[in-house]
Amino acid sequence: MSDNEPSIRERLASRPTDEANSGGDSRVSDVSASDFQQTHTDPSAPQEHLTGLQFAEPLGPPRELTPAESKSAERKVSALFLLSVVGVVGFVLVYAFGEETYDQPNNWLYTPLLGVFMALALFGVGAGAVLWAKLLMPHEEAVQERHDLASSAEERAATATALKEGLAQANLGRRPMLLGSLALGGGALALLPVPFLFGLGRFQNKEIKLGTTGWREGVRLIRQNGTPVRLGDLDVGAVESVFPDVDHGTKLADSPALLIRMSPEELRLEGEAAEWTYEGHVVYSSVCTHLGCPVKLYEQQTHNLFCPCHQSTFDAAHGAKVIFGPAARPLPQLAISVDEDGYFVAQGDFSEPTGPSYWERG
Amino acid sequence: MSVVQKGADGLGRGIDDRLGSSNFVRRSLNKVFPDHWSFMLGEIALYSFIILLLTGTYLALFYTPSLSEVVYDGSYIPLKGVTMSEAYASTLHISFDVRGGLIMRQIHHWAALLFVASIAVHLMRVFFTGAFRKPREINWVIGVGLLVMAILEGFAGYSLPDDLLSGTGARIASGIMLSIPVVGSWAAFLLLGGEYPGTELLDRLYIAHVFIVPLAILGLITVHMMMIWYQKHTQFPGPGRTEHNVVGSRLYPVYAAKAGGFFFLVFGVLALLGGLAQINPVWLYGPYDASQVSAGSQPDWYIGFLDGSTRLMPNWEFYLGGYTLSLNVLLPTVVMPGLIFTAMALYPWIEAHFITKDKRAHNLLDRPRDVPTRTAIGVASLTFYIVLLIGGGNDVIASIFNISINQISWVLRILCIVGPPIAFVITKRICLSLQKSDEHLLHHGIESGTIRRLPTGEFVEETVPLPAQYRLNLTRVAGDHEAIEGGHGDPGYDLEAVGHAEAPRSKGFFRPKGVSRVDPEQAERTEVGALEPSGKPGSPPQ
Amino acid sequence: MNSTATVRKRRKQLSSYAVVLLALSLVGTLYTAFGAPEGQAQDAPANQSMAVKEGRELYLTGCSTCHGLNLEGGSGGPSLIGVGASSVVFQMESGRMPLAAGTQQAPRKPVKYEISEIDQIAAYIQANGGGPELPSADNADLADGDLQLGGALFRTNCASCHNFAGSGGALTYGKYAPELKSASARVIYAAMQSGPESMPRYGDNQLTPEEKRAITRYVRYLTQEADNPGGAGLGRYGPISEGLVAWVVGITALVGLTLWIGARA
């Protein structure tokens, strides 16, 4: 190792001043090739033909660290490694003795403390390793040749020949029956998984399932807790999430609806839809016709129904027609009436399929 | 000889006797990696994935992918006695009753966000420096595949806790499947096992999340890394760096120490986030219920652009002879991402055939300003993406900044159409003017501040020529001269076409007509080929 | 015992250390769990008519310009007949009334009146206009409900607008559901009772007083008492703030680290 020689970097840096006299014209760098050919070889390193390496800079630190500097660097790195011990000890202590369960006081500290100590442990080792490389390992500029990725023309030709020869030996070209039957057999085999694929789903009555909900004629409107809704329970300006009073009615994903009460003169429905209401009470599906999110944000003054997922906005006073957003269809309306005990009941299923559109929907 | 050394020698000899691995090991240890901070961005993704595997395995020991109903009896008081799915109950159990379970969950979730984010950052680096060019197109395509897989994996994981948020996400996903023409309802029934929500959703998502998709990611990552290894890493131009060499530090010990240390640093950042920043507090969302929703229901950030495109889409739906075509869902959630990812995967070939017309192999990277069209395409695409991403959060923005959600939506609708072209033009102009300023530096040097009086009485400012290594950075002469024709290292180039691939297009836009970026005479004098220690033919044929 | 004490002591030290770390950390905003102080519990005035009388004085000076001398309303404000005491408590104790400039929606403001004065005005309006009344004037009493029931009802009825954690959310055309952290038990209860502005009204036949108390308890618990077991809550806006932190904190930190590693020593 020749310590006295200036490094390439230094020589490069000094070069421009030499050129300054030449007027600093537009000449692109003429970094001389020799800068890189005069590479430094470390006598102790393996020979070049074994490593495929050359070095553009002398091996060893950019400049020799003084013993004090070297000691200080070593101390820094060691301190970081030891920090990991602190982190792990802290982590174990918190982990073992911390109050981790939620019903105890100070639990809010448990996870943050674990995180801090864990990070300390990880940062110690990580930063130590990096700093070790940065401060104490030689800053080499190793140069390695790239090998050609493409094969030579001969090799390509030889490979092509081998492929062709194999084909010829298999006689595929001259035996069309073999080829044809292989194609058929292989194709048939490829279809074998398809039945299994179909086994993944139960497709019986697919369209009926998609097109209908749990609502039927005479089914009561119940709340999530199962209690039926009676006429007069809702004030004007109120809204209630309702479900069909059938088996698992509150769990059916296509059936949830909103019972809304407004003053009868505010409700502007036309035709049949007007008869589906009861004294200012109107029921719409709360499953968005766009992508199925619950449309439950009801503004009682504007009668807007708003979907929080994609911001489709429906006007509940006007048949839940779309007034903003990506939904294309109004929310289906459920015809309701009141039974002899004063409870709300459905007159039948929704006016049309609830939820997102699908191809066969019509 | 110490005992340790003796032991190591013995072990090494024993292995080499059986595998003959010395040559391979030595060559691997001596492998040179170019040193640049931006080459470590992909490592973040790799390390995040390893951390995901570690934390995910731990979580899988406690998680139950079941929709069966149980009554919660853990230590989170507000949900005590509430009926919920086993999946949700087990997630609560991990969060509150497994020691250190919450931090595992949080590190896992943060790692998922950072996994996709670091893939995105890495992808931008690769794109803007042209690292995807021949011969690395296949690895680019694998990278795009990894991005898609990472997004799918994240989405599957997001849906597992079966809290209100994840259920809402699954519901939307099933709605998206239904919108596909002809086969939509079949696909949805096939994946869910029946009508939404079905009973199988969680089992299938779970298998996808812990086995199928991670396996695919692992496989793709392996191929990705093997190809980097085999093809060797790209490098930025600089003194002594040519198309035919790699300049940097060897794998062992410097690179290994840095890269290994970096793994722990990434893990440390994730541990800090997992400990100090709450992520997905499932206990607040409550168990999934098809009739419930929370304001501001959002996907994780990497799905956000799809949420945004869906929100901004006009409500186009068509009814054709008894069939429904929901373009309002299909276009933003199926067609658009399909086109984006396909175009992204094909970009290396699109660029080589239509933009730069440069089909040669490259190992030296571009500076973004040197390929204005590519850079402009990238920035325009990013603009589009970011507009959609903002769209995905427009309700939270409206809520925090007290603006009308409808106004934001309209502004974003317009921006996602006019924004990208504007970004394209601006970026291209910025690139070209940066080129011009580089050219000025190159030709006239740095202004020294020293004023000199000429014999004629004229005052001129003296300039100092740029130091050589910077000059090499500023001119792509080296890179262009040496682009490898057919991968053979044969510099069969045409002097007229040398210099800047973009030069003909940019003439007269920001640069005076008739002044090309690099004049041939100057290029000749460079003799970059001679820089190579290998002595490969690289100098221009005379 | 001694060792337990030491551990406990050390844990305390760790705790104080962690507090400093948490405060220093840039990881999101750590929302301190203290909102507006609870309204002082106010004994019902011994003499109800006295309160009505005082309330009338306050009404005539502060409210009648817009709402009319006899609660009949006017160009500046709606009629107050039938709104009831709960509406007064909601509007005045949250500072929404008296109204400042005309905005899309009455915003929360610093409260202008003493709680006792608000109660007097409420008594006056209740006596003269009628309408839904608060079952109690006492914050503690109004929040005395079943936490689990409250949670279930909150998720069914409230979370859709006010968000899962009561952080509020956007509605259509500039309207919004406010965050619930700064709302006292009285204000929360009164809001359900009176259905102010966009908010639907929840009468006693729909949500019983017991259920409303449960919801109030849950909201107070959620916004005031509950700890964040996993670190800073990041505003509890859901995945948006998490994504932002992932990029602004996570990716920035990691890219910073690559710069450090890549830089020459």
The DSSP annotation for B384-437 comes to HHHHHHHHHTHHHHHHHHT--HHHHHHHHHHHHHHHHHHHHHHHHHHHHHHHHH
Q: Which of B293, B316, B336 to mutate to probe the A interface, most A CBs <10 Å?
A: B293
Residues in chain C where the model's pLDDT stays below 50: 1-2, 17-45
HSE, side-chain direction, 13 A CA sphere, residue B501: 27
* Spatial CB neighbours of A296, under 8 Å, sequence gap ≥ 6: A241, A258, A286, A305, B291, B292, B293, C160, C161
Task: Mark which of A91, A121, A138 sits at the end of a domain.
Answer: A138
Whether residue A246 lies inside any domain: the answer is yes
Nearest to B75 by CA among C138, C34, A101: A101
Q: What is the 3-state secondary structure (H, E, C) of C99-114?
A: CCCCCCCCCCCCCCCC
Q: Domain ranges in chain C?
A: 45-134, 135-226
pLDDT tens per residue across span A257-278: 999 999 999 999 988 899 999 9
Tens-of-pLDDT digits for all 542 residues of chain B? 689 999 999 999 999 999 999 989 988 998 999 989 999 999 999 999 999 999 999 999 999 999 999 999 988 999 999 999 999 999 999 999 899 999 999 999 999 999 999 999 999 999 999 999 999 999 999 999 999 999 999 999 999 999 999 999 999 999 999 999 999 999 999 999 888 888 888 999 999 999 999 999 999 999 999 999 999 999 998 878 889 999 988 898 899 999 999 999 999 999 999 999 999 999 999 999 999 999 988 999 999 999 999 999 999 999 988 899 999 999 999 999 999 999 999 999 999 999 989 999 999 999 999 899 999 999 999 999 999 999 999 999 999 898 999 999 999 999 999 999 999 999 999 999 998 888 888 887 777 778 888 888 888 887 777 776 666 666 554 334 445 544 333 333 332 333 333 333 333 333 333 333 444 334 333 333 333 333 333 333 33
Task: Write the DSSP string, A226-274.
Answer: SPBPBTTSSPTTEEEEEEESSTTGGG-TT--EEEEE--TTT----THHH
User: What is the topology classification, in CATH, of domain C45-134?
Assistant: Cytochrome Bc1 Complex; Chain D, domain 2 (1.10.760)
Q: Is residue A178 in some structural domain?
A: no
Min Cα separation C40/chain A (Å): 27
Enclosing domain of residue A97: 67-138
Q: Are A100 and C10 in contact (CB under 8 A)?
A: no
A vs B: CB pairs below 8 A: 379
Asked whether the beta carbons of residue B262 and residue C261 sit closer than 8 angstroms, the reply is yes
pLDDT at B240: 82
Of C160, C173, C228, the CB nearest to A108: C228
Q: Domain check: are A132 and A262 in the same one?
A: no
Structure tokens at B349: 């070939």
- Is beta strand C176-177 parallel, antiparallel or unpaired with respect to C169-170? antiparallel
Report pTM.
Answer: 0.86
> What mean pLDDT value characterizes chain A?
84
Q: Which of residues 311-350 of A touch B (CB under 8 A)?
A: 311-312, 322, 324-329
Among candidates B352, B353, B387, B518, which has minimal Cα distance to B442?
B518
- Which chains does chain C touch, 3 or more C-beta pairs < 8 A? A, B
For A219-235, b/e burial (b = at least 16 CB within 10 A) is bbbbbbeeebbbbebbb
Q: Which chains touch B (3 or more CB pairs under 8 A)?
A: A, C
User: Which chain C residues in 79-108 lie under 8 Å from chain B, judged by CB atoms?
Assistant: 104
Residues of C in contact with A238 (CB under 8 A): 195, 200-203, 206
What is the nearest CA distance from C55 to chain A, expressed in angstroms? 28
Between chains, do B37 and C242 touch, taking CB under 8 Å as contact? no
Indicate which CATH number applies to the domain containing A255: 2.102.10.10
Interface A–C counts its CB contacts (< 8 A) at 106
Instruction: Please tell me the distance in Å from B174's CA to the nearest CA on chain A.
Output: 8
What pLDDT sits at residue B204? 93
Using CB atoms and an 8 Å cut-off, which of residues 153-172 of chain C contact chain B?
155-156, 159-165, 167-172
Q: Between chains, do B324 and A291 touch, taking CB under 8 Å as contact?
A: no
Q: Domain for residue A194, yes or no?
A: no
**Residue A24 contacts by C-beta under 8 Å, 6 or more apart in sequence?**
B444, B445, B463, B464, B465
ipTM of the modeled complex: 0.85
Please, are residues C204 and C131 in contact by the beta-carbon 8 Å criterion?
A: no
Q: What is the pLDDT of residues B488-504, one digit of tens each?
A: 333 333 323 333 333 33
Cα angle A165-A166-A170, degrees, rounded to a multiple of 5: 115
Which of C19, C157, C198 has the highest number of chain A CBs within 10 A, making it the mutation to test binding with A?
C198
Residues of A in contact with B533 (CB under 8 A): 36-37, 39, 54, 143
Do the two domains C45-134 and C135-226 of this chain adopt the same fold?
yes
List the 176-215 stretch of C: residues with Cβ below 8 A of B.
176-177
Give chain B's length.
542
Which tens digit of pLDDT belongs to each residue from A225-259? 999 999 999 999 999 999 999 999 999 999 999 99
Instruction: Identify the pLDDT of residue C262.
Output: 87
Q: How far apart are CA B350 and CA B430, in angstroms?
A: 23
The answer on A110 and A235 residing in a single domain is no
User: A204 to chain B: which residues are within 8 Å by CB?
Assistant: none
Q: Which of B24, B32, B96, B269 to mutate to test the interface with A (most CBs of A within 10 A)?
A: B32
Cα gap B297→A308, rounded to integer Å: 6
> Which of B196, B323, B472 has its CB closest to that of A253?
B196
Q: Which of A138, A154, A182 is the last residue of a domain?
A: A138
Cβ pair C171:A297 closer than 8 A: yes
Structure-token pair, residue B412: 């974003």
CATH number at C135-226: 1.10.760.10
Mutant choice from A113, A229, A243, A310 vs C, greatest count of C C-beta within 10 A:
A113
Taking contacts as CB-CB distances below 8 angstroms, the residues of chain C near A111 are 229-231
Q: Which chains touch A (3 or more CB pairs under 8 A)?
A: B, C
For B245, the closest of A144, A150, A203 (CB atoms) is A144
B479: number of Cβ within 10 Å? 23
C239 touches B at CB < 8 Å: yes
User: How far does the CA of residue B501 sit from the closest CA of chain C (Å)?
Assistant: 30
pLDDT value at A40 more than 60: no
Residues A330 and A248 in one domain: yes
Q: Which of A104, A138, A172 is the last residue of a domain?
A: A138
Number of domains chain A contains? 2
Residue of chain C minimizing CA distance to B103: C230
Query: Can you read off the two tokens belonging to residue B457?
Result: 């009485």
* Residue to test with chain C: of B163, B278, B288, most C Cβ within 10 A: B278
Interface test with A, best of B104, B324, B485, B527 (most A CBs within 10 A): B324
* pLDDT interval class at A62 (50, 70, 90): low
- Which residues are B490's β-sheet partners? B485
Helix (H) or strand (E) holding B85: strand B83-85
207-266 in A: which are within 8 Å (CB) of B? 207, 209-210, 224, 241, 243, 250-254, 256
Alpha carbon of A266: minimum distance to chain B alpha carbons (Å):
24
Same domain, A335 and A234: yes
pLDDT attached to residue B469: 61
Residue A106 is nearest to which of C15, C160, C198, comparing CB atoms? Answer: C15
Residues of A in contact with C250 (CB under 8 A): none
Other residues' Cβ atoms within 10 Å of the Cβ of residue A189: 9
Residue of C229, C93, C89, C144 whose CA lies nearest to B279: C229
A224–C206 C-beta distance less than 8 A: no
C69 at interface of B, judged by CB pairs closer than 8 A: no
Tokens 């009868």 sit on residue: A264
Q: Given A102, A238, A296, which is nearest C206 (Cβ)?
A: A238
